[in-house]
């Protein structure tokens, strides 16, 4: 019995000595850094490129403004907690509900309110612009301000409804031709689905809104001649690691107007799958004739359980254009 007690005492002393040596030897050293989670790596296609194909929606950001709102001046996106974003989403959804009631729903032909994605938007960010850091659009150039004033003067016609002497007076969006790029990637009240399809050497993107589609070559071919202009511009893509980078030029001068920008508009888009259900989209907008400097916006495209992307069929049974023009003629007669 005494031998067992002696052995037990020796073991306790030995353990204590080992612990003391470890404590002394560790003095003055920084604690071990916590192990970082491995960065997400997108799956690969059969031909070895990052796989970003799928159907995505940005409906949860349908109430998010492009710029930082004035009431959030001085705030940084990184300071918003989940609770902050949930509160913002609730406030914005309430405002959206009032808007939906204002357009009359099915009674005006606008459709039942359950069509509208923005009524249930959750909101994953407080605003879209990430650069400049203040979240605001850069100042417009003097040339762009003069052009904007001229457009505003035309739009003063018909009590602010804009000119309607012919279909050409209306926007491409009104005429169901295109919503334009990058307009089409940003959320609106409905039809916020995008479908990305990949093949060797190409990526195609189909947008639910006004059945817009674009094909992006990845084979290094040069941009089109500046003499060739297209509604969606001319896209050329390349992979930088797991990020699809797309450069877009050759926009029409007088047909597409993105916040005042036209023929000299230049876009750099970035698509990157950041988890199994999310593609982060980022676009840098440049136009020296319109903006004093480039600016960048970002949003999330979410997959998951998505239905098929249905045909938009904008002009099938759509009497909007005829009614806009006939309404303008009726207003003219009423003022005579």
**Start-end of CATH 2.40.128 domains in the chain:** 179-318
Q: Which of 250, 255, 253 shows the shortest CA–CA distance to 290?
A: 253
Q: How far is CA 187 from the centre of its chain?
A: 7
CA distance 305 to 320: 33
Instruction: Name the CATH code of domain 179-318 (choices 2.40.128, 3.40.50, 3.30.1370, 2.60.120).
Output: 2.40.128
Tens digit of pLDDT per residue, the chain (336 long)? Answer: 433 333 334 333 333 433 333 333 444 444 455 555 578 899 999 999 999 999 999 998 989 999 999 999 989 998 999 999 999 988 988 888 776 655 555 555 566 777 778 788 888 899 999 999 999 999 999 988 988 888 777 777 666 677 888 888 888 888 888 888 999 999 988 889 999 999 999 999 999 988 889 999 999 999 999 999 999 999 999 999 999 999 999 999 877 778 888 889 999 999 999 999 999 999 999 999 999 999 999 999 999 766 678 778 776 666 788 888 898 899 889 887
- What radius of gyration, in Å, describes the C-alpha atoms of the chain? 28
**DSSP per residue, 84-123:** HHHHHHHHHHHHHHHHHHHTTGGGGTS--GGG-GGGG---
């Amino acid at each position: 019995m005494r031998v067992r007690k002696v052995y037990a005492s020796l073991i306790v002393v030995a353990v204590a000595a080992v612990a003391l040596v470890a404590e002394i030897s560790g003095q003055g050293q920084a604690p071990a850094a916590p192990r970082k989670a491995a960065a997400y790596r997108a799956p690969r296609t059969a031909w070895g490129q990052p796989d970003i194909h799928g159907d995505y929606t940005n409906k949860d950001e349908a109430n998010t403004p492009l710029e930082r709102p004035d009431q959030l001046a001085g705030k940084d996106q990184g300071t918003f907690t989940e609770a902050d974003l949930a509160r913002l989403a609730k406030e914005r959804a309430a405002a959206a509900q009032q808007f939906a009631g204002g357009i009359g729903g099915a009674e005006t032909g606008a459709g039942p309110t359950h069509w509208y994605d923005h009524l249930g938007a959750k909101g994953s960010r407080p605003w879209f612009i990430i650069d400049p850091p203040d979240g605001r659009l850069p100042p417009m150039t003097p040339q762009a301000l003069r052009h904007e004033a001229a457009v505003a003067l035309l739009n003063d016609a018909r009590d602010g409804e804009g000119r309607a002497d012919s279909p050409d007076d209306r926007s491409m969006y009104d005429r169901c031709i295109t919503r334009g790029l990058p307009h089409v990637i940003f959320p609106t009240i409905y039809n916020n689905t995008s479908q990305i399809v990949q093949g060797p050497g190409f990526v195609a993107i189909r947008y639910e809104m006004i059945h817009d589609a674009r094909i992006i070559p990845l084979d290094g071919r040069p941009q089109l001649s500046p003499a060739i202009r297209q509604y969606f511009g001319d896209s050329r893509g390349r992979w930088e690691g797991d990020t699809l980078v797309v450069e877009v030029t050759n926009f029409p001068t007088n047909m597409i107007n993105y916040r005042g920008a036209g023929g000299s508009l230049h876009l750099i888009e970035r698509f990157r799958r950041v988890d199994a259900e999310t593609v982060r989209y980022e676009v840098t907008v440049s136009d020296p004739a319109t903006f004093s400097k480039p600016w960048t916006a970002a949003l999330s495209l979410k997959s998951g359980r998505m239905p098929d992307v249905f045909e938009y069929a904008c002009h099938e049974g759509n009497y909007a254009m005829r009614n806009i023009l006939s309404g303008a003629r009726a207003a003219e007669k009423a003022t005579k």
